[in-house]
Chains A and B, each alone.
Chain A
Amino acid sequence: MALADTARVAAPTPVRSVSTTNACRMCMPLGASLALAGFEGTVPFLHGSQGCATYIRRYLISHFREPMDIASSSIAESSTVFGGESALVDGIANVARVYRPAMIGVATTCLTETIGEDVGGALARIDGCRPEPADPAADGSVSPTGAAPALVHVSTPAYAGTHVDGYQAAVAATVGALAEPGAPTEQVVVLPGLVSPADLRHLREVVDGFGLSHLLVPDISDRLDAGVAEEYQRLPPGGTPLAEAAAACRARAAVTLGGLVSPGTALAGELLEDRFGVAHHRLALPIGIRLTDALVETLEGLGGTAPHWLDAERGRLVDAYVDGHKYLAERTAVLFGDEDLVLGLAVWLAEIGVTPAACVTGGRSGRLAAELVRLAPELDGRVTVVDDGDFAEVEELVRALSPDLLVGHSRGYPLSRALDVPLVRVGLPIHDRVGAARTRHLGYRGTQELFDRVTNALIERRQDESAVGYAYM
């Protein structure tokens, strides 16, 4: 049994289809909405048909299990002929009246990009004709502080990239639009990528532990993982404070985690470096010992000192690796999801003895295969990487490889069920379990949790398949 169990078929490269079946990505406006939701007092606003905002709300609500208000200009057929500026202007005024936001983040959609809307110009015109600060209540469109909301604009036509590109574009656009140059600060700007609220809380704790003054940009941790309130929070508390985001251009350094996006989408960290001379460090998502060590080294390089508890967590993680390694030996996994997450997970799985035999993402950076081998050289020649893939391709690879495990989001469940391969749920979306916001992936601590889940999934499978019914494994 053991021998047959380990005999593997080499994976063919899946057939490329003209059409897409069961996509392995979401659209740019979704990522932009999520990023904008991570700024304090901000309402994401999609300039397009009403459906874009509603579908994206539904999708994110099902993941976070939190309210997610996204406004829409709800443009009508006439707007596709005569332009949608009046819908945009009315919509912004209505959001300002009802929400009193500190910022409205306007992201475009395929429709408004295709009809050639001049959103930047329209926002500038709105800014130019606002009431004087002396009479801030003139039309009610003021934030609780009395200021008119800041307006930022990000271009996110769905056809140009993935939700991750949309996320990164929105972060860069917001940081660029808010930037207020001035005296340098001691802050380290951490650009965390599309990770969970639990990851963001842990990152804060880690960088705090190094004694470094820092800022997460953006930070959805409180706004999309909040407690129960007595009244509805139209603007959930939390998020990156706008004043601090404005000072990001004066930070001593920026650290981007992930950011393996399509060419053409500049990262906020790159913008900070190119335009404002902020030193930019770019790392993979810190998953596993090697990639988290890289973050630790970077933070030490910035003058921080690793806290003792972090060393202890690393020690316990290595101990867990040792305790569990026999359950993992010669096992294989198929991974799917966002490029950054798949990269981090694949490098990590390699270091615990699990071969990430196939990695499928909806991303189109074209850099995933090279990055994988750069960060985990032992994987050279052992991984099938599919960019711009869909679940038809994932299925083909799973059938060919018969992996022991699927690692990815809940969209892989139908496949997991059909082909009877256990699925360890990570990333976004997780629509079929509670706790997506509490799922930790990053740091030694996040890795520890992933390690236990992956190892236990394999143990459980072996236990279930055993005719004996061992109560000890």
Chain B
Amino acid sequence: MTEVLAARARQVARAGTGGVDLDCDRQSTSGSVSQRACTFCGSRVVLYPIADAIHLVHGPIGCAVYTWDIRGALSSGPELHRLSFSTDLRERHVVFGGERQLEESLDELIARHSPRAAFVYATCIVGVIGDDVDAVCRAVSERTGIPVIPVRSEGFQGSKRKGYDAACEALMSLVGTGDTAGIPRHSVNLLGDFNLAGEIWIIQEYLRRMGVTVVANLTGDGRVDDIRRAHGAGLNLVQCSGSTTRLAQQLRQAYGTPFQKVSYFGLDDMAAALYGIAEHFKDPEMLDRTRALVAEEIATVLPVIDECRADLEGKRAAIYVGGAFKAISLVKALRLLGVRTALVGSQTGTAEDYRYLAELCDPGTVIVDDSNPAELSQFMATEDVDLFIGGVKERPMAYKMGVAFCDHNHERKVPLEGFVGMANFAREVRASVCSPVWQFTPRRARAGRSGTTAHTGRAAAGAAIEVMC
């Protein structure tokens, strides 16, 4: 039996038990120990990979220090994004206002680093002390001649999703300010890929082989000048749909650019993404090139996947990640490895995402929105999972319970996108699941089996979910 707080009763369900209609995209329940961060986090993760801009966090030091170079968004050139800039507000600023501190910080940092733009992130207290961030940004922009863009990311505004919206708004203010001359018809922008572990370079290489030009990365390995001319692209590709679909919609509305939602995780979704692009441009030769590319890439990675599948067949996994779109790809990718998903959830999924997940997953699979350690740990036990796929905060929880773990979040150092990414993913999963260390953990020691043997004594899955008063 798993206990869930009454306030969260409509954020947990099981697939196959009628219509799954989660009450999501709402403020986290107080005291639930949500795994989510805040609005600021949403804005910061979307914008920060723009490598030739200054990212100035306007507030006391915490927000800047906890987001200093913590995501492996790689750059092929400048690395300004890896520095942590803060106005570092003090008591006197809280009393007398922080506008002057912001203005002087901007002047100082722009003079020191010569960025192509500056983003100013408003943190919680900025809204409360009443700084006119817009006015300061305007003044500094006029003085320095570079875009200085306010991001309305006060943490209390809502969930991480709200921060995505603020980031999209900031990006929209840049798009349309550059010259689009010379952009070919077969061109795209890459939205919602943050180039973790160099992933965007894998996708760019596929596109190059297909004959597609990338205009702007939004935002992995991103450059301000590219983003300014992004409205000249023929198509927008939206990966990580939670964060940048809104931007794609705005670009369609403002510039008529169509968009496609894509996922670069797993063989099926990766191939579907590339075919979708080729079909969009209605170029038979491009379609031929794409077919050849997909066949070649899959032939390269299939032996690795088959080998891993032999070791992983029959294992059970829990997935808890930031965005539901990624969770969907992960369910499919795990299936390819013979691994059944017993629990799947996300921090920022929509009701539609969860409905789709419920259809995709086997009956009985737990579907959960905005979960927490108490729930996740109970489900890990009742569903007797062998593997957890999540981020830094979920890792020690899994390890403490003797469950293998694969980091599919910002700390990953191995690219998991693309066809090669699927092979890497298979290896990552196997490296943990098949480690001999699990035999010594109490959970596995009691069951009398090591991490590599077939399941015996499986706990009764499908246990009841009890709502607490």
Contact A230 B442 (CB under 8 A): yes
Contact of B62 among A30, A91, A139, A229 (CB under 8 A): A30
Question: How far, in Å, is B66 (CB) from chain A's closest CB?
Answer: 4
For residue B391, which residue of chain A has the nearest CB? A58
Question: Which residues on A are within 8 Å of B, measured CB to CB?
Answer: 17-23, 25-27, 29-30, 45, 48-59, 61-62, 64-77, 79-80, 87-88, 90-95, 97-99, 109-111, 114-115, 139-140, 157-160, 226, 228-234, 411, 414
Is B68 close to A, CB under 8 A? yes
Would A94 and B37 count as touching, CB distance under 8 A? no
Q: In the complex, what's the smallest C-beta–C-beta distance from A395 to chain B, in angstroms?
A: 11
**Contact A74/B34 with A55-B67, A58-B393, A80-B127 known, Cβ cut-off 8 Å:** yes
On whether A71 and B33 interact (CB within 8 A), knowing A19-B109, A23-B84, A54-B393, the answer reads yes
Nearest residue (CB) in B for A59 is: B66
Chain B interface category by residue count: 35 or more
Residues of chain B from 347 to 361 with CB closer than 8 A to chain A in the complex: none
C-alpha gap A92/B397 in the complex (Å): 23
Distance of B196 from chain A, by nearest CB (Å): 16
Query: Closest 8 CB pairs between A and B?
Result: A51-B38, A91-B31, A27-B62, A232-B377, A94-B31, A91-B30, A49-B155, A19-B105
The reply to whether the CB of B157 lies closer than 8 angstroms to some CB of chain A is: yes
For A19, the chain B residues whose CB sits under 8 A away are 56, 85-88, 104-105, 108-109
Interface residues of B in 16-48 (CB under 8 A from A): 27-41
Closest to A111 in B: B124
With A21-B84, A229-B442 as known contacts, state yes or no: A94 contacts B62, CB within 8 Å: no
Stretch of B293-301, B398-406, B426-434 at the chain-chain interface: B398-406
The answer to whether B34 touches A233 (Cβ under 8 A) is no
Contacts of B392 in A (CB 8 A): 58, 61-62
Chain A residues contacting B156 (CB-CB under 8 Å) are 48-49, 75-77, 79-80, 111
Which residue among B32, B108, B157, B397 has the maximum number of chain A CB atoms within 10 Å of its CB? B32
Residues from chain A with a CB closer than 8 A to the CB of B91 are 157, 159-160
Question: Once the chains bind, are B158 and A77 in contact (CB under 8 Å)?
Answer: yes
The answer to whether B61 and A158 have CB atoms under 8 Å apart is yes
Any A CB within 8 A of the CB of B9:
no
Which residue of chain A has its CB nearest to the CB of B375?
A98
Q: Are A61 and B31 in contact (CB under 8 A)?
A: no
Contacts of B380 in A (CB 8 A): 232
Residues of B within 8 A of A65 (CB): 396, 399
Give A117 to B101 CA distance when docked, in angstroms.
Answer: 26
Given contacts A17-B108, A27-B62, A115-B128, contact A232 B400 (CB under 8 A): yes
Which residues of A lie under 8 Å from residue B128 when comparing CB positions? 80, 111, 114-115
The answer to whether A77 and B401 touch (CB under 8 A), given A49-B38, A98-B5, is no
Q: Give bound CA distance, A93 to B468, whole Å.
A: 12
Residues of B within 8 A of A95 (CB): 31, 33
Task: Give which listed residue, A26, A69, A160, contacts B65 with CB less than 8 A.
Answer: A26
Known: A67-B400, A80-B128, A99-B374. 17 other contacts (CB 8 A): A21-B109, A26-B65, A49-B155, A50-B38, A54-B35, A54-B37, A56-B62, A66-B396, A77-B154, A77-B157, A79-B156, A88-B30, A90-B31, A98-B3, A109-B124, A226-B400, A232-B378
Interface residues of B in 149-203 (CB under 8 A from A): 154-159
B residues 79-115 touching A (CB-CB < 8 Å): 82-91, 93-94, 101, 104-105, 108-109
Q: How far is the CB of A54 from chain B (nearest CB, A)?
A: 4
Tell me how far the C-beta of B74 lies from the nearest C-beta in chain A, rounded to whole angstroms.
Answer: 14
Given A51-B155, A54-B38, A74-B28, is A228 in contact with B399 using a C-beta cutoff of 8 Å? yes
Q: In the complex, what residue of chain B is closest to A140 when comparing beta carbons? A: B469
A23 touches B35 (CB 8 A): no
7 residue pairs A–B, Cβ–Cβ below 8 Å: A23-B86, A58-B66, A94-B29, A111-B124, A230-B402, A230-B443, A232-B380
Cα A369 to Cα B243 with chains together (Å): 48
Of B65, B395, B399, the residue contacting A25 (CB under 8 A) is: B65
